[in-house]
Chain A
Amino acid sequence: MKIVIPVAIVVVTVILLVAGGLSPSQVGIAVGEGVGTTFTGSSTGGTVPEQVVTAFLQNVQRRNWHGAYAYLATQNKADEASFVRELAGRDASLRTFSTLSSWDLKPMHANDGEADIRTTMHWSTPVGVMASVRDLKVVNEQNAWRIVWPQPQLADVPAQVVPVNYLRWDLVTHASPEWGNSGVDGPRVRIVSMNAVSYNGGSVIMGEALNEDTVPAFVNVNATLMGQDGKPIGEESSFDKILHVLLPKQVTPYRIDFPNVELQSVKNVQMDIKTTLVPASADPVIGVMNQSIDTDATGRKVLKGQLLNQSGQIVNVSHVIATFYDTDGKVIWVSDGYVDSALYPQTPETFSVEVPSTVAGSAHNYHVVVNQYSLERS
């Protein structure tokens, strides 16, 4: 009896180790792949190129950059510092706060000398899961499969002086308000449109709001869905699907999701807009260039373009919100997406946001706004 339990433990441990080593780690569970492992053709779960990519990604997940770098091919090889900056992020971009949580591999093409593998990387970020797709070319270099990773074109802003003379608003509050002299009025922001649609079994309320005032406003839009009996059946906020700081005469879309409420059960919608006076700056100005609706590598419809930071300061995190309109100018969808790279001064950065298939066909027009967060202004 004394010997049975220890033996059972050892046996179970061995079984688990073998099982872990056999299955390709598509959910990113580290299985102890070491640095500089050479794959010469052993086939344990997936093709050899897939195994190489898997091992590479496991190192990325562990933030073992040197270990990941060892999997790169010599042709057009990026220098290690640029490679790390590209994957790990820099300058407090969203990527610097992210970890690789999982990935999907889809072999596109393979022969004895090279293979193309479409890699979808799922990053856990403070604002949710973000996916990035990259087609990795894996080549057989002297009987060792390696990943081709070209030198990234990272923004290199030339030294210059960029004058900043855009307006800034500050707030001065009254220390002990007497009745009738307690301060300035809050900003006037009006909801100019609202549309309720059914989506994926739930309901979505969307529209636009306009800052009619001459001062900046911090804005939040809430919606309460009323059932057929007149009682509330759901109450939600726009959360981050809105441009929260609205400058004078600026328009923001908003989208409020009710995933568990069917539209047929809704009798009416009560909208509520909350506004507060906040200090703000009219800088940075971010241009949205070369927007177009296209199909991405995975076959989804996306609205893509380039963000151009026209100021002299790095924008650490940017958030793109796109509004889609039908032929009558009615808001039919609001999409959003974060850019995981920082926006460097005078340097374009690509973005893309998904367009649902039901919207892509009926969207006649669109408008993009950009939320931004800069560490130096926090």
Chain B
Amino acid sequence: MHMRLILAALLGFFLADLCFGQELNPPQQATAGNPFSIPTSGSGSATFYLFGPGSVVKQDVHLGQAVDVRGEDVTTAGRYTVILCGDTCHSAHFFIAAASPASLSFLAHPSRAMVKQSGSISGVVFPFDKFQNLVLSPVTVNFKMTTNKNSLFSRAVPTRQGVAWFRSDSGNTAGLVLLSASVNGLSAQRALQLVASDPCNLRIKAKQTAKGVLVETDPIHDCAGNTVPDGTIVTFTANSGAGRSTVDAPIKQGVARANLTPSGTTVISAASGVVMGNELRMDVKR
């Protein structure tokens, strides 16, 4: 009776060893780039496979000994499948999480914005670890917008699912603005040009010359007082008995000017984009 029991137990252990010997017990989660070991049980040789996003490994192993997984084989965050094949194949899966932030992707828009525009500037930050994995655990991103070392905007935003973003009004003064995003000593910067809005109070004056009529604007500013950039087109129009004359003249050093050739009673006007200036009436003698 006792011998039968002993024999049955031995047989059970032998069968259990056959059926459950090739066991894999990887950690449920590890960090990208960190090596670890996966214990195995059983005896004999087997082939070990590691399939993951970004790497595939195959090596011969001895059952009962731990399988060493190198850090460079688990740099990409995601789901990994490990397989141990002897007489039969057994598998398991585990997750690799991103390491701590090592760089920031900072998408800032626009690269040019008009002054005094509500909600016209926005920025989005994604923190990545050194293996380009998106860091999903929350970190706080400090956004700042400065011009001439004056702060226009500052906000701390925690990431949600690896993203933080902000939106802000543009400032009142044209010029270069620096946008920065920082996380734990990491930072990224973007340059933004604030430009003048549409011309405001476009005014012209004219005088007769030997060549015709020289029309000139007053220095052109927007309604916040910023000089409208050079190169902006001002369209001058002169209507007279000789017909209509138009010149699209770019602003130079804050002023646009053009020579027109009307004759007789003349009405002169100017416009820039959708902004109209004043009208002048003069009697041109040629």
A binds B: yes
Interface status of B105 (Cβ within 8 A of chain A): yes
Q: Assess whether A185 is in contact with B111, with CB atoms less than 8 Å apart.
A: yes
Complex interface: stretch among A64-72, A196-204, A247-255: A247-255
Given A214-B229, A290-B261, answer yes or no on A285-B112 (Cβ-Cβ < 8 Å).
no
Q: Assess whether A287 is in contact with B246, with CB atoms less than 8 Å apart.
A: yes
Q: Which residues of B contact A242 (CB under 8 A)?
A: none
Complex interface: stretch among B45-53, B89-97, B139-147, B230-238: B230-238
Q: Assess whether A289 is in contact with B245, with CB atoms less than 8 Å apart.
A: yes
User: What is the distance, in angstroms, from B200's C-beta to the closest C-beta of chain A?
Assistant: 13
How many Å lie between the Cα of A165 and that of B258 in the bound state? Answer: 14
Q: Which residues of A contact B190 (CB under 8 A)?
A: 180-181
How many Å lie between the Cα of A194 and that of B188 in the bound state? Answer: 43
Q: Assess whether B247 is in contact with A287, with CB atoms less than 8 Å apart.
A: yes
How many Å lie between the Cα of A184 and that of B229 in the bound state? Answer: 18
Q: Which residues of B contact A266 (CB under 8 A)?
A: none
User: What is the distance, in angstroms, from A133's C-beta to the closest C-beta of chain B?
Assistant: 21
User: What is the distance, in angstroms, from B196's C-beta to the closest C-beta of chain A?
Assistant: 8
Ranked nearest first, the 4 interchain pairs of A and B with the lowest CB-CB distance are A282-B250, A167-B231, A249-B273, A292-B243
Tell me which of B111, B196, B229, B245 contacts A291 (CB under 8 A).
B245
How many Å lie between the Cα of A319 and that of B109 in the bound state? Answer: 37
Q: Assess whether B259 is in contact with A310, with CB atoms less than 8 Å apart.
A: yes
Interface status of A288 (Cβ within 8 A of chain B): yes
Interface status of B249 (Cβ within 8 A of chain A): yes
| Chain B residue with Cβ nearest A308 | B261
Please name 14 pairs of A and B residues whose Cβ atoms are closer than 8 Å in the assembled complex, sorted by A.
A167-B250, A178-B105, A179-B107, A185-B112, A192-B274, A247-B231, A249-B234, A251-B235, A288-B246, A289-B243, A289-B245, A290-B245, A305-B244, A367-B246
Q: Assess whether A249 is in contact with B233, with CB atoms less than 8 Å apart.
A: yes
| Chain A residue with Cβ nearest B189 | A181
Tell me which of B107, B244, B261 contacts A292 (CB under 8 A).
B244
Tell me which of B109, B230, B248, B261 contacts A250 (CB under 8 A).
B248
Q: Which residues of B contact A287 (CB under 8 A)?
A: 245-247, 258-261
User: What is the distance, in angstroms, from A172's C-beta to the closest C-beta of chain B?
Assistant: 13
B interface with A by C-beta (< 8 Å) = 105-112, 188, 190, 193, 195-196, 198-199, 229-235, 242-250, 252, 258-261, 272-274
How many Å lie between the Cα of A369 and that of B233 in the bound state? Answer: 12
6 other A-B residue contacts (CB within 8 Å) besides A166-B252, A185-B112, A290-B242: A214-B229, A248-B233, A250-B248, A287-B246, A287-B247, A369-B248
Tell me which of A178, A185, A286, A366 contacts B110 (CB under 8 A).
A185
Interface status of A117 (Cβ within 8 A of chain B): no
The residue in A166, A185, A213, A214 that gathers the most chain B C-beta atoms within 10 A of its C-beta is: A214
User: What is the distance, in angstroms, from B190's C-beta to the closest C-beta of chain A?
Assistant: 7
Tell me which of B106, B246, B259, B274 contacts A368 (CB under 8 A).
B246
Q: Which residues of B contact A80 (CB under 8 A)?
A: none
Q: Assess whether A247 is in contact with B246, with CB atoms less than 8 Å apart.
A: no
Q: Which residues of B contact A292 (CB under 8 A)?
A: 243-244
Interface status of A210 (Cβ within 8 A of chain B): yes
User: What is the distance, in angstroms, from A128's C-beta to the closest C-beta of chain B?
Assistant: 25
Q: Assess whether B112 is in contact with A184, with CB atoms less than 8 Å apart.
A: yes
Q: Assess whether B245 is in contact with A181, with CB atoms less than 8 Å apart.
A: no
How many Å lie between the Cα of A158 and that of B235 in the bound state? Answer: 28
Interface status of A215 (Cβ within 8 A of chain B): yes
How many Å lie between the Cα of A292 and that of B107 in the bound state? Answer: 52
Q: Assess whether A180 is in contact with B232, with CB atoms less than 8 Å apart.
A: no
Interface status of A114 (Cβ within 8 A of chain B): no
Q: Assess whether A179 is in contact with B232, with CB atoms less than 8 Å apart.
A: no
Interface status of A239 (Cβ within 8 A of chain B): no
User: What is the distance, in angstroms, from B276's C-beta to the closest C-beta of chain A?
Assistant: 12
Q: Which residues of A contact B273 (CB under 8 A)?
A: 210, 212, 249, 251
How many Å lie between the Cα of A185 and that of B258 in the bound state? Answer: 31
Q: Which residues of B contact A286 (CB under 8 A)?
A: 247-248
Q: Which residues of B contact A179 (CB under 8 A)?
A: 105, 107
**8 A Cβ contacts from A192-232 to B:** 192, 210, 212-216
| Chain A residue with Cβ nearest B253 | A165
User: What is the distance, in angstroms, from B235's C-beta to the closest C-beta of chain A?
Assistant: 8
Given A184-B112, A213-B112, A214-B195, answer yes or no on A288-B250 (Cβ-Cβ < 8 Å).
no
| Chain A residue with Cβ nearest B193 | A214
Tell me which of B108, B110, B233, B260 contacts A247 (CB under 8 A).
B233
Q: Assess whether B243 is in contact with A290, with CB atoms less than 8 Å apart.
A: yes
Q: Which residues of A contact B258 (CB under 8 A)?
A: 285, 287, 310
Given A167-B231, A210-B274, answer yes or no on A215-B112 (Cβ-Cβ < 8 Å).
yes
How many Å lie between the Cα of A290 and that of B286 in the bound state? Answer: 14
| Chain A residue with Cβ nearest B242 | A290
Q: Which residues of A contact B112 (CB under 8 A)?
A: 184-185, 213-215
How many Å lie between the Cα of A166 and that of B273 in the bound state? Answer: 19
| Chain A residue with Cβ nearest B240 | A290
User: What is the distance, in angstroms, from B151's C-beta to the closest C-beta of chain A?
Assistant: 22
Tell me which of A165, A169, A180, A185 contacts B105 (CB under 8 A).
A180
